[in-house]
């Protein structure tokens, strides 16, 4: 048996953007191996260390600690983006050579994939899914159709040339005749570019399945880095408004090539409210009304309107701006709403969380009251899970409890709370902030392990 109590899977427990990168960064300090197992550069982790910002899209967060960090077979890789990211973090003093590994079975995003992505979204009009346009979905489609180009092909010029020669005419014909797109680069140029990418990346070739298996057998500390929220999983997410990979803890086995006993702890990351990028259902969403004045005026003005006029549209915009809710990868503004415990509870059934990490609690500071969705109502039924039928999910009415808000602390005041938390744990939090965390634990029956009250990696209060 290879059961590994030293391995931890970090998952986003909502629709992404929960702050997973920060938790992976913190856990990576003591890790021996950090593993990215699914998704592509449609994901993004923002890590802040000592005021310096790292935006990671493909590279595992463990690299910042100079830890062995690998990209599994379940990831789709845009080699140009990957090389640019490597260059960027090397410029900040991060050692990549000798630490990064890429599985030869990982699939490669080709220049036609983003074109298909954009063309299909345009064809769908107001029914578009809201993809990032990075070509992720079409790359996974080619993988399942057995038409994909893998990393092992990218680093072999002869095989790469033969595969591009076979695929290019077909992709060009479909783009031009079906989607009326004529912007695909010449075949020769693509081949030259991708041979160069393969040459630059070939030194990172690693059998990630074997590397992870060896680490687990040696009782080393392994962190599996999730790239999306579980509600974006291709199978159990809010289909069709989902990503194209397996975002659940079970996706580790598929994306890495290890059995389920390789998983030890499974920890979900939960934003203290809910956000979502792109289209799809969002029961607790607050309506938004954009105000065009400068940011500081907006925050004060929006809070004033929200608190004293009970105007949810201004409250939604306040959360967006106070939490700086704009996508790491796309820059798109995120939709905002109250924390929805139903989706966390459903995610727990899909992943069996051993604990939760709450992020961005400080963003809620200063609100007079805070709502918490505990159940849904469907007609006369009260449910505490996401219905399997999409039509039913689209009809749910969120049921809230209302809690007292807590004070809006300054950056320095939160630092003092974090310092006090080293001795008192969650009891260092303002009283009503503490009550909010305890209420989350009560309704979910899952222990909260940590609470984040700022973007920096040090702004975390641990339960113990």
Tokens of 351: 């992943």
Spatial separation of the C-alpha atoms in residues 314 and 210, rounded to whole Å? 52
Tokens of 413: 């005041």
Closest CA to 271 of 330, 335, 208: 335
Tokens of 85: 């990211």
Is 456 a residue of the active site? Answer: no
Q: Phi and psi of 383, rounded to 5°?
A: -125, 150
Spatial separation of the C-alpha atoms in residues 26 and 111, rounded to whole Å? 35
Spatial separation of the C-alpha atoms in residues 165 and 94, rounded to whole Å? 37
Closest CA to 263 of 39, 2, 7: 7
Angle at 77 between CA 343 and CA 5, to 5 degrees: 55
Spatial separation of the C-alpha atoms in residues 440 and 90, rounded to whole Å? 40
User: H/E element holding 84?
Assistant: helix 79-90
Catalytic residue among 45, 107, 113, 228: 45
8 A C-beta contact, residue 11 and residue 227:
no
Classify strands 222-229 and 7-12 as parallel, antiparallel or unpaired: parallel
Cis peptide before 240 (omega within 30 of 0): yes
By CB neighbour count within 10 A (0-12 exposed, 13-18 middle, 19+ buried), where does 281 fall?
Answer: middle
Is 45 a residue of the active site? Answer: yes
Beta bridge partners of 366: none
Closest CA to 385 of 429, 425, 417, 340: 340
8 A C-beta contact, residue 83 and residue 200:
yes
8 A C-beta contact, residue 434 and residue 461:
no
Closest CA to 56 of 12, 20, 27, 98: 20
What are the catalytic residues? Answer: 17, 45
């Amino acid at each position: 048996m290879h059961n590994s109590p030293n391995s931890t899977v970090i998952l986003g427990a909502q629709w992404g953007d929960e702050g997973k990168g920060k938790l992976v960064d913190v856990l990576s300090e003591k890790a021996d191996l950090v593993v990215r197992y699914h998704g592509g550069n449609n994901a993004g982790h923002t890590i802040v260390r000592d005021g310096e910002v790292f935006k990671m899209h493909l590279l595992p967060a463990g690299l910042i600690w100079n830890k062995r960090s690998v990209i599994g077979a379940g990831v789709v890789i845009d080699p140009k983006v990957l090389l640019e990211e490597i260059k960027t973090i090397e410029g900040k003093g991060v050692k990549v050579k000798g630490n990064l590994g890429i599985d030869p079975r990982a699939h490669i995003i080709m220049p036609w994939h983003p074109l298909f992505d954009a063309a299909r979204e345009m064809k769908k009009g107001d029914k578009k899914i809201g993809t990032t346009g990075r070509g992720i979905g079409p790359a996974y489609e080619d993988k399942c159709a057995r038409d994909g180009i893998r990393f092992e092909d990218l680093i072999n010029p002869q095989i790469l040339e033969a595969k591009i020669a076979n695929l290019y005419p077909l992709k060009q014909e479909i783009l031009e005749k079906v989607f009326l797109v004529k912007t695909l680069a010449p075949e020769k140029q693509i081949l030259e570019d991708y041979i160069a990418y393969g040459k630059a990346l070939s030194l990172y070739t690693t059998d990630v399945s074997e590397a992870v298996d060896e680490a687990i057998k040696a009782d080393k500390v392994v962190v599996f880095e999730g790239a999306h929220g579980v509600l974006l999983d291709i199978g159990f997410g809010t289909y069709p408004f989902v990503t194209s990979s397996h975002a659940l803890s079970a996706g580790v086995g598929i994306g890495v090539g290890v059995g389920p006993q390789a998983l030890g702890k499974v920890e979900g990351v939960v934003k203290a409210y809910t956000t979502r990028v792109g289209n799809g259902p969002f029961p607790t969403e607050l309506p938004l009304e954009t105000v065009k004045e400068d940011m500081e005026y907006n925050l004060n003005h929006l809070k004033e309107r929200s608190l004293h006029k009970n105007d949810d549209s201004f409250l939604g915009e306040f959360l967006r701006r106070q939490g700086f809710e704009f996508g790491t990868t796309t820059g798109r503004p995120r939709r905002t709403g109250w924390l929805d415990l139903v989706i966390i509870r459903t995610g727990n059934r899909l992943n069996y969380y051993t604990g939760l990490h709450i992020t961005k609690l400080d963003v809620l500071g200063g609100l007079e009251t805070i709502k918490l969705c505990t159940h849904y109502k469907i007609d006369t039924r009260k449910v505490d899970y996401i219905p399997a039928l999409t039509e039913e999910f689209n009809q749910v009415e969120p049921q809230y409890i209302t809690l007292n808000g807590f004070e809006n602390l300054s950056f320095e005041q939160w630092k003092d709370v974090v310092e006090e938390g080293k001795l008192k744990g969650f009891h260092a939090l303002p009283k009503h902030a503490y009550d909010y965390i305890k209420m989350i634990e009560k309704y979910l029956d899952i222990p909260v392990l940590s609470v984040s009250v700022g973007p920096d990696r040090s702004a975390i209060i641990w339960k113990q």
